[in-house]
Amino acid sequence: MEHTGKNKNIGEAVMVGGLRFPSNVLMAPLAGYTCFPFRLMVKKLGAGSAYTEMVSSDGLKYNDRATSQLLYTDDREKIKCVQLLGAIPTVFERAVKSERLAPFDVIDINMGCPVPNVVKAGEGCALMEDIPRAAKIIEACKRSGKTVSVKCRLGMNRSKIVIEEFARMCEASGADMLTVHGRTRDMMYDGEPLYDYIRLAKQVVRIPVFANGGIDSKEKACEVMEKTGADGIMLARYGFENPLVFAELTGQKTNETKLSLITEQLEIAGECFDELSTLTYVKKLASYFMKKMPGTKQYKLELYKCGSAGQLKSLLCEIFRG
């Protein structure tokens, strides 16, 4: 049965489970990037939600420093969303009911990561080849009482596109939302996404479906919404390169500049993380911000030589002052 309806406008609010996301332009989880300071920034600019970096459901039991940094949040983050990776339903259930995930409102299950070591472990995109196991994982997470979303691809390759069956399973198992990356696993991050299949997923379920993949401009975002009929979009690398796009897409007025954003990121990261983690993160963010600026090769060399927050701030002011 197809479920069609009025097309959503880009930037409007959307209900996910019992939660109201203030806009339907979301920031994807990105390993190494979507830390707490970054999530605060994009939400301030209009993102409806932003997810933690990918966290191992099994790794939570070790209580190590790296995982604690991935899970860092505080009351400044209103809707808290964590993304979990794994393959064992009981491990997911233990994780989502644990004290460490108690602050989080939304559990996002990674069923789309195409990286070889993840797939070999039966995690990420491999779960699209084991639909009964994927269903049990969603059901296990729902037993926590939290809102549950799933991020997936179309299938393993073009001869194994299973998104229609998979979307139906997600809804039947209790998922509150589905984000579909419009590529197969073997496409990795290259090639034009197959947006018609995202439209198909949207047509066969009633839960919100978000389109992801290949969105690298405001124009492309609007085109993807039109092509897929999705309830919203999820930005990945472009959201990191140009976070001001969230304000542009949601119609939010802002006086922020790349300089004001990057210096605030340095300040917030310094409150939450040690100096080495802060410098590493802000240097990566600054490199992304410089991606399409002319003559930045020398600045990038200087950027990576900075050994203190003070040095880094001075250089950032020099780079982004114009």
Average of per-residue pLDDT across 84-111: 97
The neighbour count for residue 205, using CB atoms within 10 Å, is: 21
Lowest average pLDDT, out of 5-9, 42-46, 145-149, 273-277, goes to 5-9
Percentage helix, strand, coil for the chain under 3-state DSSP, each rounded to 5: 45, 15, 40
Among candidates 235, 232, 237, which has minimal Cα distance to 202?
232
How many Cα neighbours within 13 Å face the side chain of 86? 25
Which of 58, 119, 52 shows the shortest CA–CA distance to 90? Answer: 58
Q: Which of 106-120, 191-205, 295-309 has the lowest mean pLDDT?
A: 295-309
- Six-digit token string for 273: 């993380």
- Cα 207 to Cα 75: distance, rounded to the nearest angstrom: 28
Model pLDDT for residues 183-215, shown as the tens digit of each residue:
999 999 999 999 999 999 999 999 999 999 999
Q: Tell me the C-alpha distance between 208 and 58, whole Å.
A: 28
Q: What are the structure tokens assigned to 64, written together?
A: 């190590």
pLDDT computed for residue 3 by the predictor: 44
Instruction: Please list the residues that pair with 179 across neighbouring strands.
Output: 151, 210
pLDDT at 296: 83
Give the Cα separation of 57 and 87 in Å (integer): 9
Q: How many CB atoms lie within 10 A of CB 265?
A: 23
Cα-Cα end-to-end distance for the chain: 54
Residue range 136-164: average pLDDT? 97
215-247 pLDDT tens trace:
999 999 999 999 999 999 999 999 999 999 999
Contact 208, 16 (CB under 8 A): yes
Which residues pair with residue 19 across a beta bridge? Answer: 16
Kindly state the tokens that stand for 78: 């209103």
- Which pLDDT score is estimated for 322? 58
pLDDT in tens, 283-296: 999 999 998 787 78
Residue with tokens 């729902």: 142
Ordered domains of the chain (ranges, CATH): 14-250 (3.20.20.70), 258-320 (no CATH)
Asked if 259 and 320 touch (Cβ cutoff 8 Å), the reply is: yes
Euclidean distance between CA atoms 39 and 47, whole angstroms: 9
Residue 125 and residue 305: Cα distance in Å, rounded?
A: 38
Question: Is 281's pLDDT higher than 70?
Answer: yes
Predicted confidence at residue 297, as pLDDT, reads 85
Phi and psi at residue 180, to the nearest 5° = -110, 115
Has residue 1 got a pLDDT over 70?
Answer: no
> Left if phi > 0, otherwise alpha if psi is -120 to 50, otherwise beta: which for 124?
left
DSSP string, 36-90: HHHHHHHHHTT-S-BEEEEEETTGGGG--HHHHHHT---TT-SS-EEEEE-S-HH
Tell me the pLDDT of the chain averaged across its residues. Answer: 94
Share of the chain above pLDDT 70, in %: 98
Q: What mean pLDDT is predicted for residues 158-178?
A: 97
Active site residues: 113
Bridge partners of residue 161, in order along the sequence: 155
| Interval 162-171: pLDDT, tens | 999 999 999 9
Q: Put residue 289 in one of left, alpha, beta given phi > 0 → left and psi -120 to 50 → alpha.
A: alpha
Q: How far is CA 26 from CA 38, 118, 125, 246, 284, in A?
A: 13, 24, 21, 8, 21
Position 174 confidence tier, pLDDT thresholds 50, 70, 90: very high
Whole-prediction pTM: 0.94
Q: What is the pLDDT of residue 6?
A: 62
